[in-house]
Chain A
């Protein structure tokens, strides 16, 4: 399962090299061209099957040149949230800061892998026996946490993990029956969906896949990728928040495990193109693929910068629901994963220039 390799690869924002290797190996023989751009995005191109001739159906021709196939961008980000070494304690402990949003409540006692050599480490925590009154109720701040790599001195610590060294969770991928668990499902789940789509049949349009960098650090990779690709429309593929743990009130679970791919209508970063949302929901309904609309207003994805590229790119986000994202371990349903691949494949095979011409009478 490609998701296992992707999940276990290490690639905190700005240091996506190991994930890039996995991605390149996974897609190389299924695409026509693949390159790495200046930011580090992997851009893979898979030519469409629509014939290029003056008589090509208008539905398959890009409005820009009149003789081009439609260009569709599919993006998934390779980077994951993690930590960076920013200092040392005199006794050889590391001080860290977060890259991307991480909940400090989840950190004490977790296992890490530090640097390219994947040095095992533990985030230190005071034993429960020694906690003083009131300490149990307090959440430690990230800057107060100590990362223990077994170094005995400041110098040794600095040697093992120089300033700026990345660290991430040391979590193995596990199959739990209908679900799987592992780290970095945000967004290796999306990367895995994109790999599956590239491995399948060609579409009529030209497919431009972007495995992007630095999403968790400001949607930065997708921005330049979309500028370079100049797509007619864009899809961000994601692993998103499933918040279906029991609640006191009858309120939104954001998304739920097992209820199918989650389609974004609006989040803090963008508003999805309604015609693309409609394409996805009508395809799902026609084929009986379960789907859910993600609770609007929550989170942000690469679509937030893709839609702003050049003259604007109609965009949407489709995600595999994942419990406990941005934590040391996330969990997703394989059925949701497979349904996301299927919904994307079926929707994309129904996507034509006409989809994007609706409401755009010129």
Chain B
């Protein structure tokens, strides 16, 4: 048994520290994979969280089939790590430009109308922290879906909930974050 599966087993038995250790183990591996891609000519288009997380999973679980609880723990940790890595990267890129514009995602993407308000990954991260204060479960869902790249069906499977209720929660989280981002962004 590899170390990570032992840690996951300990986490399953309620050992909270083990889970922290799992995160610590996942982080460098995921970061190594992500950095290689972030350093590419155009980072954005080659970062696919699902692929990265899955590669990490295969590597660290030693290709063993983990049971459901272990897999859940794994993906939760990996999604957190993914968020951390991307946010760190955004901060660094921001600092390098010394106050220059962050690359912005338009809320209303159109080619011929007005440019809508803009939001960045760092704005999103703050809005997500707010969401976490309101509802920790929604916060984790966003991590799994948005940062971990898992689909609603996969999340439903993993968390043993119905697709419908995961979808509903995602609608809640999405609406809150969208509303927050729309509010916080300065007019262009």
Is chain B a partner of chain A in the same complex? no
